[in-house]
Chains A and B, each alone.
Chain A
Amino acid sequence: MSAPDWLLTEAPASRRQASLGRWYRNWLVFRRNPLAMIGLAIVALLIVTAVLAPVLPLQSPTAQALSQRLAPPGAQHWLGTDELGRDILARIIFGARITLGIVLMVVAIVVPLGLLIGTISGYIGGALDVVLMRITDIFLAFPRLILALAFVAAIKPGLESAIIAIALTSWPPYARIARAETLTVRNADYVKVAKLQGASWLRIIWHYIVPLCSTSVVVRMTLDMAGIILTAAGLGFLGLGAQPPTPEWGAMISTGRDFLLDQWWVATIPGIAIFAVSLGFNLLGDGLRDVLDPKRT
């Protein structure tokens, strides 16, 4: 039996085969969408270069060479140098590590938090639902960047504060989605049967409701990653995110602004990087939405 046959069989012989088969079917659908594949390629490239950055033959992202400051893109510096003579290509690639780190940290905080609040609020209902949803509304009512700014200003500027500030402002939509999905399934027959079997409410939420919410949350997450990158860049641009000499993309644009007319590459290239990665995550999210739609069986 060939590998695809083994994956696509109607009669899987083990738990693992059944779930791998489902993943493979999803992949077959995903593969048919060229834009989603472009998005996946961009995101994969970002991840690979970020992981391999220390072993790539790059110049140091922080080594200054004042004799070569503001050199245009050329053979020696493919993407030119900045105002302190640092290689922009190296800074972009090392910056990808920081960007990716911020995005992953924010997602790791926001997704479980949003899922937890949303599913509990939707499933338990009553007064708890009202309280949790009003708290969510309060966070939702603040403009994202302003709240993040206020938070960072109140603590101290830096990467960790930026991550916490962005997380603080981006969980409410997840809670809302999770709650809405929970409301549609909380009275389903399979939940009723689980109650009859004596399942606790925690078990019902974790085993019955979360698997059905997670697809919309995952899609929302990939669509949100672009926004997280932009917020991180915005904080960096205002000097409240990563601190020099850390090569963060937003901070790079911020310093490049002074030379925008004469040395366009200093600000433009990190801008292109932010644009490309945001686009990649958005395309990936769109593709995933088509594949993971729970209505598609």
Chain B
Amino acid sequence: MTPPMIQLDDLGVSFGKGTRRFDAVRNVTLDIAEGEAFGLVGESGSGKSTVLNAIAGLIGSYSGAIRIDGAPAGPQRTGAQRRLLQMVLQDPYGSLHPRHTIDKILSEPLLIQRLDGIERRVEHALADVGLKPEHRFRFPHQLSGGQRQRVAIARAIILEPRILLLDEPTSALDVSVQAEVLNLLRRLRRERRFTTVMVSHNLAVVAYMCDRVAVMSRGRILETGSSAELAKGGFSHPYSRQLWNASSGYNRDLLKELWDDA
């Protein structure tokens, strides 16, 4: 059997020291298979983005182990290890450098990784995400939010990674644009077969995008299950049910059964 693409073993991340210590992530153990689409849901501050950042190697100190493609992957990684994994962030306004043209934004990863055929790869990546050649020499402020997010996706896939991390890729976008971007991500996943880990607080988006879902609260994974179960509201933990009920709209009766582990 091939080893899981991403393996988290008893991952813990804490910020601060002593009495001001805050445990953002506690005892997270996860196996994500190659080609799988995995979702992490939970409220703000539940630690889901921290898990993603730890997988990406952006967190300096943690406990437990992270293995990617069978190899231990800490914060110090080689160029090849970096190339294996790319990320699309939430805010398309903050994730593109305001003084770089789209051309420069897309060439940078290729220059950093010392790849050849930059012209061809940039043109190809633009076409892949549905941008036109005339967008190439514009600055980010000359593009719409949806177009910027497409640029961010193009920047992530231009290195041909095997893992794509998605940190709420659509929550900063208009509802009409969200669907376009989600469909683009689904199409790219089908074509390129990469492993994806998606973080979101939107259950509908996660159910649509992912095969398997984990529910997180206060730094722990409460429950893991298939997204089909999630879509039916079939999760058993009270917090998961609460999250599911909350997503279906405001209902005063829900307050009576509010679950809180504090």
**Residues in chain A within 8 A of chain B (CB atoms):** 10-15, 17-19, 22, 188-190, 192-199, 203, 207-208, 211-212, 294, 297
Q: Is the CB of A15 within 8 A of B137?
A: yes
Of the candidates A13, A14, A189, A195, which one forms a contact with B89 in the assembled complex, judged by CB atoms under 8 Å apart?
Answer: A189
Q: Is the CB of A190 within 8 A of B86?
A: no
User: Does B58 sit within 8 A of A, measured CB to CB?
Assistant: yes
In the complex, the chain A residue whose C-beta lies closest to that of B105 is A190
Q: Is the CB of B137 within 8 A of A17?
A: yes
* Separation of A211 and B139 alpha carbons in the complex (Å): 14
Q: Is the CB of B82 within 8 A of A15?
A: no
Q: Is the CB of A11 within 8 A of B86?
A: no
In the complex, the chain B residue whose C-beta lies closest to that of A208 is B97
Of the candidates A13, A208, A297, which one forms a contact with B141 in the assembled complex, judged by CB atoms under 8 Å apart?
Answer: A297
In the complex, the chain B residue whose C-beta lies closest to that of A16 is B137
* Residues in A whose Cβ lies below 8 Å from that of B109: 197
Q: Is the CB of A198 within 8 A of B82?
A: yes
* Residues in A whose Cβ lies below 8 Å from that of B91: 189
Contact count A vs B, C-beta below 8 Å: 77
- Can you list, as one digit per residue, whether each of B86-116 has a CB less than 8 Å from chain A (1) or not (0)? 1101010011111111011000110011000
Contact-residue bracket for chain B: 35 or more
* Residues in B whose Cβ lies below 8 Å from that of A188: 94
Q: Assess A14 versus B137: contact at CB under 8 Å? Given A188-B94, A196-B56, A198-B113.
A: yes
B133, chain A: closest CB distance, angstroms: 9
* Residues in B whose Cβ lies below 8 Å from that of A203: 112
Q: Is the CB of A193 within 8 A of B139?
A: no
* Separation of A118 and B9 alpha carbons in the complex (Å): 40
Q: List 12 A-B contacts (CB under 8 A).
A: A11-B137, A12-B137, A19-B101, A192-B89, A193-B87, A193-B89, A195-B58, A196-B86, A197-B108, A198-B77, A211-B100, A294-B98
User: Does B134 sit within 8 A of A, measured CB to CB?
Assistant: yes
Tell me which of B79, B98, B109, B137 has the highest count of chain A C-beta atoms within 10 A of its own C-beta.
Answer: B137
Q: Assess A10 versus B82: contact at CB under 8 Å? Given A189-B94, A193-B87, A199-B112.
A: no
In the complex, the chain B residue whose C-beta lies closest to that of A192 is B58
B78, chain A: closest CB distance, angstroms: 8
A58, chain B: closest CB distance, angstroms: 44
Q: Is the CB of A193 within 8 A of B95?
A: yes
Q: Is the CB of B138 within 8 A of A198?
A: no
- Can you list, as one digit per residue, whether each of B45-77 has a CB less than 8 Å from chain A (1) or not (0)? 000000000001110000000000000000001
* Residues in B whose Cβ lies below 8 Å from that of A195: 58
In the complex, the chain A residue whose C-beta lies closest to that of B95 is A189
* Residues in B whose Cβ lies below 8 Å from that of A13: 134, 137
Q: Is the CB of B87 within 8 A of A196?
A: yes
In the complex, the chain A residue whose C-beta lies closest to that of B155 is A193
* Separation of A195 and B79 alpha carbons in the complex (Å): 10
* Separation of A190 and B104 alpha carbons in the complex (Å): 13
* Residues in A whose Cβ lies below 8 Å from that of B94: 188-190
User: Does B193 sit within 8 A of A, measured CB to CB?
Assistant: no
* Residues in B whose Cβ lies below 8 Å from that of A196: 56-58, 82, 85-87
| Residues 140-164 of B at the A interface (beta carbon under 8 Å) | 141-142, 152, 155, 159
B12, chain A: closest CB distance, angstroms: 22
Q: Is the CB of B83 within 8 A of A198?
A: yes
* Residues in A whose Cβ lies below 8 Å from that of B103: 15, 18
Q: Assess A207 versus B108: contact at CB under 8 Å? Given A198-B82, A198-B113.
A: yes
Q: Is the CB of A190 within 8 A of B113?
A: no
Q: Is the CB of B79 within 8 A of A190?
A: no
Q: Is the CB of A18 within 8 A of B159?
A: no
* Residues in B whose Cβ lies below 8 Å from that of A18: 101, 103, 137-139
* Separation of A11 and B132 alpha carbons in the complex (Å): 10
User: Does B135 sit within 8 A of A, measured CB to CB?
Assistant: yes
Q: Is the CB of B95 within 8 A of A190?
A: yes
* Residues in B whose Cβ lies below 8 Å from that of A211: 97, 99-100
* Residues in B whose Cβ lies below 8 Å from that of A14: 137
A10-B142, A196-B87 given; 9 more Cβ-contact pairs under 8 Å: A11-B135, A15-B103, A17-B137, A18-B101, A18-B139, A192-B89, A195-B58, A198-B112, A297-B98
* Residues in A whose Cβ lies below 8 Å from that of B96: 190
* Residues in A whose Cβ lies below 8 Å from that of B104: 15
In the complex, the chain B residue whose C-beta lies closest to that of A19 is B101
* Residues in A whose Cβ lies below 8 Å from that of B87: 193, 196
A235, chain B: closest CB distance, angstroms: 38
B147, chain A: closest CB distance, angstroms: 12
* Separation of A77 and B167 alpha carbons in the complex (Å): 75
